[in-house]
A = this chain, B = another copy of it.
Amino acid sequence: MDVPLSCYACGTTAALADGARCDCGEPYWVQTDPSTFEWPDTSERSLWRYRALLPDVTPAGLAAGAGGTPLVRAPRLDDDVGATVHVKYEGANPTGTFKDRGSAVGVAAGAAAGDDAVGTVSHGNMARSMAAHAASAGLDCLVLVPADIPVERLALLARYDPTILRVEGDYGRLYRESLRVGSEAGVRFVNSDTPLRVAGQGTTALEIAESFAPDVPDAVVLPVSSGGHASGVWKAFRDLSAADLVDRVPRLYFVQTSACAPIAEAWARRDDVVTPVEAGETVAYSIANADPPSGNRVLAAASETDGGVLAVDDDAILDARRALASSAGLFVESACATVLAGARRLHDRGDLVADDDVVLVATGTGFTERDLDAPGVDAETVPLSALDETVARII
């Protein structure tokens, strides 16, 4: 399978077999031809609706269930954010997060190429997603996890029966090494900012844009960790712009957790290069990437779209998580509650205004971490015979 790649930073072109990164040090993404792209006229609901902008593979099994997630209004959050709030709910994907978009494309490509095994480096959502898609396709899946992964996350991952290897050592280096080791051992690693994954992740933006067409939202707010999803979203809006399907690109805002915010810190310094940090503890552990492989690409995306990168602390994240459930009916992963915490901050500083349509990308379900911050419950107990009077009293 010949998939053309290009480097966003220096324009170098390559092919999938050449690896995931350009000699200039920056990551490749899949080179698309959006010149003739139009909104599809099909009843297909999954991300394969946009196959004209995806690698030429045919999905089977679970891969055909990725994407097609709901975009819902959240009117009770409008005042919070000082704008019109829409939430793209990625928890509706088969394993509960946006990661299924990239896994679907990566595993389908692996199956099409005759691979026996795929792999990834992850301690949570991406691991579960790759293991699930591989299970459906009948491929082995090698998951490299940090040695200190919590046991409950490991147990959830094991449901899909992958080969799990705990690796001691620097996580950023493990990410890079896995690509080399996988290449030598015949295991296709679909890591978080690899070209096939980023191609799949871009469909989040294609769905958002099609939902608004012919209008365009004013701003999109996304959690950011490695920068793979952010890169895919930016690339998709560039493609839509090239295809004349949007007359402008939304401002893209990326949110990190204060405990681990290398991209936000580089943005604040007005650097165009991210420097690794030491990560602290945070409830948003899913996005605590201290050495983000696509960090520089995120800075470029924020800069070119007149957006920004910011960080929010755990208290703000947990408060946003509660508000998303109690005011929008969406119980989300703490890492993805950063989008509401970030949007509140953007409003406070004047970056979101009254007529703005803002899309918060809620990247994952909260059901996978329902023990975190669980509320105490104080519910009255009454006999059935007292139902009438009790209901009359409390309603």
Contact = CB atoms under 8 A, between A and B. Distances in A.
B181 A387 contact: yes
Interface of A: 43, 45-46, 60-62, 64-66, 68-76, 89, 91-96, 117, 131-136, 138, 140, 142, 144-145, 147, 151-152, 154-161, 163-170, 173-174, 177-178, 181-182, 184-187, 210, 322, 325-331, 365-368, 370, 374-377, 379-385, 387-388, 390-392, 394-395
A185 to B, nearest CB: 5
A382 B167 contact: yes
Given A43-B210, A70-B94, A96-B367, A329 B164 contact: no
Contacts of A187: 391, 395
B328 A61 contact: yes
A187 B134 CA distance: 47
Contacts of A72: 61-62, 64-65, 94, 136
A76 B329 contact: no
Q: Is the interface of A mostly helix, strand, loop or mixed?
A: mixed
A136 B383 contact: no
Contacts of A134: 329
Contacts of A154: 377, 379
Contacts of A167: 381-384, 387
A259 to B, nearest CB: 23
Nearest to A62: B329
Contacts of A382: 165-168
A45 B61 contact: no
A184 B388 contact: yes
Nearest to A185: B391
B64 A329 contact: no
Contact of A75 (B61, B151, B374): B61
Contact of A375 (B159, B177, B375): B159
Given A94-B89, A395-B186, A45 B68 contact: yes
18 contacts: A61-B72, A61-B76, A91-B94, A92-B93, A92-B94, A133-B329, A135-B328, A136-B327, A136-B329, A154-B377, A159-B331, A160-B329, A165-B380, A165-B394, A166-B380, A182-B391, A185-B392, A186-B395
A328 B136 contact: yes
Contacts of A151: 377
Contact of A325 (B160, B164, B366, B377): B160
A182 B394 CA distance: 12
B46 A60 contact: no
A326 B160 contact: yes
Nearest to A46: B70
A131 B173 CA distance: 45
A387 B177 contact: yes
Nearest to A73: B61
